[in-house]
């Protein structure tokens, strides 16, 4: 298969990277990166391709998907996107680095909360990789910077 190397163990690589991400994470789980997806409308009847119910008398419910925590690397940046200078208290931007399997769980996140600070989704860089392991970088901007 293209992109594979018989001497490279993708599972072992993922385990090692997750170990490093977890090692660098705050010890208090409530301060670790938590990804939030947008709420969804759920109907109790069939809907068309535009998510409009066939029965206008149907009920609708707004459902908030559960927040997701995955091991990730976090880079804190200033308003220009540069690494934070010494003495800066709050980052204006963060970049979350994720392995492909973890990215799939949070790729539709609308924001991330880290240490109580909320960062809104901005963009995802094109993926890179190492043989059969994909690597993703998601950019977020501080809520008060938008």
Give the residue from 113, 136, 105, 104 showing the smallest Cα distance to 123: 136
Measured between alpha carbons, how far is 116 from 30 in angstroms, rounded to an integer?
A: 8
Per residue in 104-129, pLDDT (tens digit) is 999 999 999 999 999 999 999 999 99
pTM, two decimal places: 0.83
Specify the pLDDT at position 77: 86
Buried b (16+ CB within 10 A) or exposed e, 87-104: eeeebbbbbbbbbbebbe
Specify the pLDDT at position 104: 97
Task: Find out whether 97 and 112 touch, Cβ atoms under 8 Å.
Answer: no
Per residue in 2-30, pLDDT (tens digit) is 456 778 899 999 999 999 999 999 999 99
Range scoring the smallest mean pLDDT among 77-81, 93-97, 102-106: 77-81
Q: Where are the domains of the chain?
A: 10-38+68-145
């Amino acid at each position: 298969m293209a992109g594979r190397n018989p001497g490279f163990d993708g599972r072992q690589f993922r385990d090692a990277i997750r170990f490093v991400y977890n090692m660098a994470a705050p010890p208090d789980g409530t301060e670790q990166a938590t990804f939030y997806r947008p709420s969804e409308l759920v109907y109790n009847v069939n809907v068309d391709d535009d998510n409009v119910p066939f029965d206008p008398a149907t009920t609708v419910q707004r459902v908030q998907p559960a927040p997701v925590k995955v091991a990730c690397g976090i880079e804190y940046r200033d308003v220009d996107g540069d690494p934070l200078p010494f003495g800066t208290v709050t980052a204006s931007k963060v970049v979350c680095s994720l392995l492909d399997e973890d990215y799939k769980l949070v790729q539709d996140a609308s924001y991330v909360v880290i240490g109580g600070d909320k960062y809104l989704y901005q963009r995802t860089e094109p993926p890179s990789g190492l043989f059969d392991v994909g690597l993703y970088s998601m950019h977020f901007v501080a809520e008060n910077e938008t």
